[in-house]
Amino acid sequence: MITVHHLNNSRSQRVLWMLEELEVPYEIKRYQRDPETMQAPASLKQVHPLGKSPVITDRDLVVAESGAIIEYLAHTYGKDTLLPKAGSQAWLDYTYWLHYAEGSLMPPLVMRLVFEKIKTSPMPFFVKPVAKGISDKTNQMFIGPMIKTHLDFVESHLAKNTWFVGDTLSAADIQMSFPLEASVARGIVRNSRPHITAWVERVHARPAYRKALEKGGEYDYA
């Protein structure tokens, strides 16, 4: 049986959703973040040397990285679901969005989060104005415009497509869920991008998604 090594408030939630969509039996081994550092516990390193989540074990196999897990599950258990026909334009689109999620969209979102946390991190009082100024300027001149470009791109695509690969849910949608959920929850996606908001609402309305959320436990999108 597949075991999902599930860290709270992490990308592993979308692995649970993938498994629910595929109706594949699995079990959850839970890990909790350190409340102060928000880092994963050291026990995860017993599963994979990097000690990161998500990680799954399937018999003797250990599969890490969200995209690799999603691809593995789609190819191994997907049958005719969540996976377009190989060699088709849909297949190319699916492959693009599957890798775009972590390769292009997530990095500026993570950078924004890091620079926002700098402003609230403990430091000498006389340093705070300087740190805040650097953080705000970096977000304003570099990170913010980069995120806007990406979200405008995604919004344009979803204005013409119900899901990321046409009118059918694919594994690419599952991979794209984390960055877009986070963008909506953090207020980065506003009323000017209604198609992204509508897509996230469609995701949250799926029975398999709701079932995964019940099994995975509390999930802080922000």
The domains located in the chain, with CATH, are 2-82 (3.40.30.10), 89-211 (1.20.1050.10)
Q: CB under 8 Å to 212, separation ≥6 — which residues?
A: 13, 16, 17, 19, 20
Helix (H, G, I), strand (E, B) or coil at 86: coil
- Neighbour order of strands in the sheet with 2-7: 26-31, 2-7, 55-58, 61-64
User: Looking at residue 12, what is its pLDDT?
Assistant: 86
User: Looking at residue 118, what is its pLDDT?
Assistant: 78
- Here the tokens at position 176 are 């794209």
Burial of 81 (0-12, 13-18, 19+ CB in 10 A): middle
In the chain, which stretches have pLDDT less than 70? 123, 125-127, 130-131, 221-222
User: Looking at residue 130, what is its pLDDT?
Assistant: 65
Helices assigned H by DSSP within 52-189: 66-77, 89-100, 106-120, 128-138, 144-158, 171-185
